[in-house]
Homo-oligomer: A and B are copies of this chain.
Amino acid sequence: MKGIALLGAPQALWPKDLKQKLSKANTQENLLIGVDRGSLLLTELGFVPNLAVGDFDSLKKSELNRIEAAVSDIRYSVPEKDLTDTELAVRYAFEDYQVDDLILIGSTGGRLDHFLSNLFLVLKPEFQSYAENITIWDRQNLINFYLPGKHTVTKAPGYDYLGVVNLTAIQNLQIKKAKYQLENYSNSFPMSFSSNEFLPEHDSFELSFEKGVVAVIQSCDLDRYQNL
């Protein structure tokens, strides 16, 4: 089972045609999770979350009532908690609902301390084993996470660019079969190797490293006049 969680970051950054994509996912009995305001946004899109997580502080009473009437599994968080609402949602999705993969939507942009919480989530020991099963997805970016080892990273249709980001200290990072190669790179701090590309003759590239956590960001340009 796949899980899809909608968070509360700017809707303008949602993947294109999100409603249609969620409709399709919904017919396949995936788990739909609303994180805080994301719960309301899911109902506004016409979906009933299977699980809602949050303190719901920013919702009006009537909005929260609507969610409470519709959603069978609501987990209330407390603001002074150690884990963010998103981290709680990840825990419940993998532990209680046994999802195989989880996609986080509405998790980028807006307040960047929130985005970085989401991006760095997989670095926490509790969540590290889920790293390769968590995806951050927005209109211009598809972010996957990798643990040490050898990986073949496949090109996602429509995403032309490639960034390889060590989120931690890293040992022997190698990028092969991409436009810009990297050989045995080791470093003690995060770095974003941006603006790389898949080779025209390959629909994948080879990534390997011995220590650390790496994010691979596939991205695309928007029409520059689209003003996004």
- A33 to chain B: closest CB distance in Å? 19
Give every chain B residue within 8 A of A168 (Cβ-Cβ): 188-190
Q: Which residues of B contact A184 (CB under 8 A)?
A: none
Total number of A residues with any Cβ neighbor in B under 8 Å: 51
Q: Which residues of B contact A227 (CB under 8 A)?
A: 10-12
Is the beta-carbon distance between B113 and A190 smaller than 8 angstroms? Answer: no
- A27-64 with Cβ < 8 A to chain B: 37, 58
Tell whether, in the assembled complex, residue B189 and residue A112 are in contact, meaning their CB atoms are under 8 Å apart. Answer: no
Instruction: Render A173-189 as a binary contact track against B, CB cut-off 8 A, 1 for contact.
Output: 00000001000000011
Quick one: closest B residue to A109, CB to CB? B109
Q: Specify which chain B residues have a CB less than 8 angstroms from the CB of A189 in the assembled complex.
A: 120, 123, 167-168, 213
A120 CA to B224 CA, complexed, in Å: 25
Which residue from B112, B119, B213 sits with its C-beta under 8 Å from A143? B112
Contact of A140 among B110, B117, B143 (CB under 8 A): B110
Among A65-73, A94-102, A215-223, the stretch in contact with B? A215-223
The 7 closest A-B pairs by CB, nearest first: A113-B163, A113-B194, A116-B192, A111-B219, A12-B228, A117-B192, A123-B189
The chain A residues found within 8 Å of chain B, CB to CB, are 10-13, 37, 58, 79-80, 84, 108-114, 116-117, 119-120, 123-124, 140-141, 143, 161-165, 167-169, 180, 188-195, 213, 217, 219-222, 224, 227-228
